[in-house]
Amino acid sequence: MSKKASASPKVVNRLVVIGLGLIGSSLAVAARQRGFANQVIGISRRQSTLEIALKNGIVDRCAESLGQIAAELGEGDIVVIAVPTLSVPSVLEESVSQLSPNVTITDVASVKDSVVKAAQSLFGEMPPQLVPGHPIAGSEKSGVTAANGDLFTNHRVILTPVEATAVGHLKRATDLWEATGALVSIMSVLEHDQILAATSHLPHFLAYSLVDTLAGMSDKTDIFRYAAGGFRDFTRIAASDPVMWRDIALANKDSIIEVMDRIMENFKAMRCAIESGDRQYLMDLFTRARDARNHFGKILESKTPDTGIHSPMTEKVIDYIVSPGGSACGDIRVPGDKSMSHRSIMLGSLAEGMTEVTGFLEGEDSLATLQAFRDMGVDIEGPNEGRVVIHGVGLHGLQTPSKPLYLGNSGTSMRLLSGLMAGQTFDVELRGDASLSGRPMGRVATPLREMGAVIETDADGTPPLRIKGGQKLSSINYLMPMASAQVKSCVLLAGLYAEGETSTVEPAPTRDHTERMLRGFGYQVNSDGSKASLSGGGSLMATRIDVPADISSAAFFMVAAAIVPGSDITLRHVGVNPTRIGVINILRQMGTHIELSNHIEVGGEPVADIRVRYAPLKGIVIPEDQVPLAIDEFPVLFVAAACAQGTTLLTGAEELRVKESDRIQSMADGLVTLGIDAQATVDGIRIQGGQLGSGEVASFDDHRIAMAFTIAALRANGKIRVKETNNVATSFPDFISLAQQIGIGIEIAAAEAQ
């Protein structure tokens, strides 16, 4: 063993590994190198394997069968069945019958349904001690000589407990895998098998099939000699272990056949298109696939900055470590406005003709909207350095998506789309990630139902949203109970499909990008004070859209300059729509020097350069009319308040509790951790300015919380570790490089296992 055992806590007493192939022996050697088991015992029928395992320090002890050691094992011990998939049932039978129910049993087979079914048929029900598992790690090398103690580091391990699985055993299996450095996910058996069939099994079978087909072309024996990089990349996995893949093919039959049928259909259609010279079909297919690949690739790259691992199963969780004493100086342009980027895709898709968008935000949220419209058959080129070309299909040209539309973390995508989907002829389901799945959707479902839409939510009004197509929508005059641009936009967008005039009346002014952009697409929208209205039945004409920089992203650097003495920063070409400039108004009231220059109007939206210079800040009572105008900027404004002299009081901001996280509580918790007196109230917060300390703060899977605490570190008296910051990519993909460029000392570190 080359690495020394570290002083890791012991998460298991004895670790027994049955089967010392690549996975089993790598787990054993990880346990020895990291020191998380008191003893590592290897079991293999092959004497030669056991000898190598002992000689190479992979195990402490060996046995030829479980029977030799079963009586010794009890509470705290874990047996890992690491034999080929089809051999699992016989080993399982032997294990359950010989072991005490206190011993945890888990397996590593790549298919989970066959393991669960085998256990049920052997024992009548799933033994509570059995935790089905699957590490998503591997290599083309196999056997005990390929053992690698780092094989699981930052890779996913999926556990698929069933109802009968005991909590204690699940915890032991989770602890075991986390101690190897793996990231553990829990999911259902069916979900696991379907996902793996599509993302792992099918690619292997395609690679095997391609190599086999070419190798069988006897008239072209030496074609491999001319094979280029593409062939090598594509077929690398055809060098994997045939026994393992035979077993997987048979064990995951149903899910694999389902996805094989789909790919054969796609392939057949491609063949026809080639035969008949259908250039358009081929162009559409290749463009769609290339863009989808780029989309996934970008997300993966931004989430795995230094691993080079390209698999959603190996997404690496990252923290930021930010040093105090940095500055905010320079001249920069932050990425495009998120709200306008979403709307540009939606309206461009529904317009007639080709819309060109520049300055588009390539963040995960707006990319989710883009992908949703591709899923509904819209041909969208890019994004390529912020340029997107949308081949609009008209208000009635969307096609039925073949699966639920997945909108990730993006509330704007879901709420605005719900309005548009209510007017379609087809059924659709809208889904999101864990955070979005907990956010209120009743606020859009209620007015849409009043218009005649048929929408189902979960019992508590949260996603998924199931929207039934083919409903006749009637117009309404909706008095909005809360100041929300998403609700207003949802109703107005549904109004495009309703008969008569649809209007909204808002309790306070909210961002009006929907109204302005609709006008840019030639659609008449009337705004009269708090009322906005439009009539259904018109059409949108394609246009050009230049998305300005997002003031919500600029806000982080505005506050950075506002809190660090000597700072002087200019933010270029920022959208300064009057419904978005609460952050400017509030910071000015607190004492910051802010100047706007180079005012222009772009596509109906005011744009300017913003220069921010440091001046001492004082606490203020934030006027309630500023709340909707600064709604997304409060996390970082709370940081300004923490650095101000005196108390800052916010009221009338209960909406902050239903954002990507409960932003009042998330910020109060973090500020208190850093030594600031911050008291959350029902509808706001009271913050007493003081000295920010160092420490670790959670980001609650919320991009704006993560970035706000990064800025806070500038004025802290030591480093701040902001935990789990991957989510920053939803709205601000270049945040780190821009932060570094203006003088913030920020490093990325792998998150510590929980």
Binding site for ligand S3P (CB under 6 A): 339, 412, 484-486, 489, 511, 631-632, 655
Shortest separation between residue 450's beta carbon and ligand S3P, angstroms: 18
The tokens of 334 are what?
């932050």
Max intra-chain CA distance, the chain: 85
- Contact between 105 and 17 under an 8 Å Cβ cutoff? The reply is no
Nearest by Cα to 474 from 381, 549, 388, 536: 536
DSSP state of 198: I
In the block, which residue shows the tokens 């199963």? 313
Nearest by Cα to 420 from 348, 507, 520, 341: 348
How many Cα neighbours within 13 Å face the side chain of 622?
31
Torsion angle, CA of 699/702/704/706, rounded to 10 degrees? 20
Residues β-bridged to residue 595 = 611
- Contact between 512 and 485 under an 8 Å Cβ cutoff? The reply is yes
Residue 121's Cβ-count burial label (10 Å; 0-12, 13-18, 19+) is exposed
How many Cα neighbours within 13 Å face the side chain of 155?
16
How many Cα neighbours within 13 Å face the side chain of 54?
12
- Contact between 91 and 117 under an 8 Å Cβ cutoff? The reply is no
Spatial separation of the C-alpha atoms in residues 607 and 156, rounded to whole Å: 44
Spatial separation of the C-alpha atoms in residues 319 and 306, rounded to whole Å: 13
- Contact between 545 and 595 under an 8 Å Cβ cutoff? The reply is no
Shortest separation between residue 420's beta carbon and ligand S3P, angstroms: 14
- Contact between 321 and 412 under an 8 Å Cβ cutoff? The reply is no
Shortest separation between residue 413's beta carbon and ligand S3P, angstroms: 9
Exposure string of 264-279, with b = 16+ CB inside 10 Å and e = fewer, is: eeeeeeeeebeeeeee
Q: Is 331 a catalytic residue?
A: no
- Contact between 457 and 465 under an 8 Å Cβ cutoff? The reply is yes
Strand 465-468 versus strand 428-431 pairing type: antiparallel
Shortest separation between residue 445's beta carbon and ligand S3P, angstroms: 14
| E strands, 669-715, in order | 677-681, 684-688, 695-698
Sequence-distant (≥ 6) Cβ neighbours of residue 502 within 8 angstroms: 451, 475, 476, 477, 478, 491, 492, 494, 495, 533, 534, 535, 536
Spatial separation of the C-alpha atoms in residues 378 and 417, rounded to whole Å: 15
Spatial separation of the C-alpha atoms in residues 636 and 551, rounded to whole Å: 12
Give the active site residue among 632, 701, 702, 734: 632
Distance of CA 147 to the CA centre of its chain: 32
Strand 130-131 versus strand 104-107 pairing type: parallel
Ramachandran sector of residue 400 (left: φ over 0; alpha: ψ -120 to 50; beta: rest): beta
Residues catalogued as catalytic: 632
